[in-house]
């Protein structure tokens, strides 16, 4: 069994669509680092962000497109809390197979979820999503108000 590796290169994909409500041609340029054949892929569908002409509306067959993880959302219900109070962090990652973690103090989490945090001082939380194509991060800061602030 041979293993297919993609060297760093530009790959031009052109997807046609006969639907009158969709674009006639979609051109995407993808830079692929060297990656194993088990690279996570996204199959375009009506609910997949960033894809067009899904099979369900165009009647055609679309190739699977390898993608870096995408942070769809990361936020908190309160960005300013009083000491001793909690903040609810929420996140959603586009790649359900990505390795996801929140630092400091939370650790590994699923691709979509929420967690209560109880910071004792102003804290910047970093959401990191990683797959074989790369790593993306986003930060939010929860400000802890003290008697002086």
Q: Per-residue pLDDT for the chain (149 aa), expressed as one digit of tens each?
A: 444 343 433 333 333 444 444 443 333 344 344 444 444 555 555 555 544 444 444 555 555 677 899 999 999 999 999 999 999 999 999 999 999 999 999 999 999 999 999 999 999 999 999 999 999 999 999 999 987 75
What is the CATH T-level fold of the domain 71-145, as seen in this structure? Answer: Immunoglobulin-like (2.60.40)
Largest CA distance in the chain: 67
19: tokens are 């639907």
**CA 19, CA 24: separation in Å to the nearest integer?**
8
Would you give the end-to-end CA distance of the chain in angstroms?
64
Domain regions of the chain by residue span: 9-66, 71-145
The single residue listed with the structure tokens 């001793």 is 84
Q: How do beta strands 71-76 and 123-131 pair? A: unpaired
> pTM to 2 decimals?
0.57
């Amino acid at each position: 069994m041979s293993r297919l590796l993609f060297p760093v290169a530009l790959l031009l994909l052109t997807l046609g669509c006969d639907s009158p409500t969709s674009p006639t041609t979609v051109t995407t340029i993808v830079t692929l680092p060297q990656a194993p054949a088990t690279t996570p892929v996204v199959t375009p569908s009506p609910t997949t962000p960033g894809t067009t002409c899904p099979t369900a509306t165009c009647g055609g067959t679309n190739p699977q497109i390898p993608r870096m993880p995408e942070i769809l959302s990361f936020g908190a219900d309160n960005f300013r809390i009083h000491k001793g109070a909690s903040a609810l962090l929420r996140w959603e990652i586009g790649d359900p197979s990505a390795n996801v973690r929140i630092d400091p103090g939370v650790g590994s989490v699923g691709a979509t979820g929420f967690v209560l945090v109880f910071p004792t001082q102003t804290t910047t939380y970093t959401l990191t999503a990683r797959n074989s194509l790369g790593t993306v991060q986003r930060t939010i800061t929860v400000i802890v108000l003290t008697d002086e602030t």
